[in-house]
């Protein structure tokens, strides 16, 4: 498979991860009540709902995968003889 073919395949995988992450975040927000979450015991207690945690976790995972693929493509481009 050529580098272009691999890049296109990885682009579709990244798009799938992004879409799945956002769908999971939407489903979690719809399924859980608004009061479900974590409260951090500080001077002024901070409440973070699970839906917000899920959204940012999915976003971070998708960004991580995207960065890894971009770095991989750059390394392959540098190492490929012309």
In this prediction, residue 1 carries a pLDDT of: 65
Tokens for 45, please give them. Answer: 């207690």
**17-63: per-residue pLDDT in tens?**
778 877 877 787 778 777 777 888 888 888 877 767 777 777 787 78
In this prediction, residue 70 carries a pLDDT of: 77
In this prediction, residue 63 carries a pLDDT of: 81
Q: Is the pLDDT of residue 79 over 70?
A: yes
Q: Quick check: 62 and 17 in contact, CB under 8 A?
A: yes
| CA dist., res. 61 & res. 56, Å (int) | 8
**pTM of the predicted model as reported, rounded to 2 decimal places:** 0.54
Residue ranges per domain, the chain?
11-79
The string of DSSP letters for 10-78 reads: HHHHHHHHHHHHHHHHHHHHHHS-TT-EEEE-SSS-EEEEHHHHHHHHHHHHHHHHHHHHHHHHHHHHH
């Amino acid at each position: 498979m050529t580098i272009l073919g691999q890049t296109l395949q990885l682009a579709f995988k990244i798009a799938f991860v992004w879409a799945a992450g956002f769908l999971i975040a939407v489903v979690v927000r719809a399924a859980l009540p608004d009061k479900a979450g974590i409260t951090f015991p500080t001077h002024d207690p901070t409440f973070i709902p699970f839906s917000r945690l899920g959204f940012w976790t999915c976003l971070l995972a998708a960004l991580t995968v995207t960065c890894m693929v971009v770095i991989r493509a750059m390394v392959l481009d540098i190492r490929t003889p012309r």
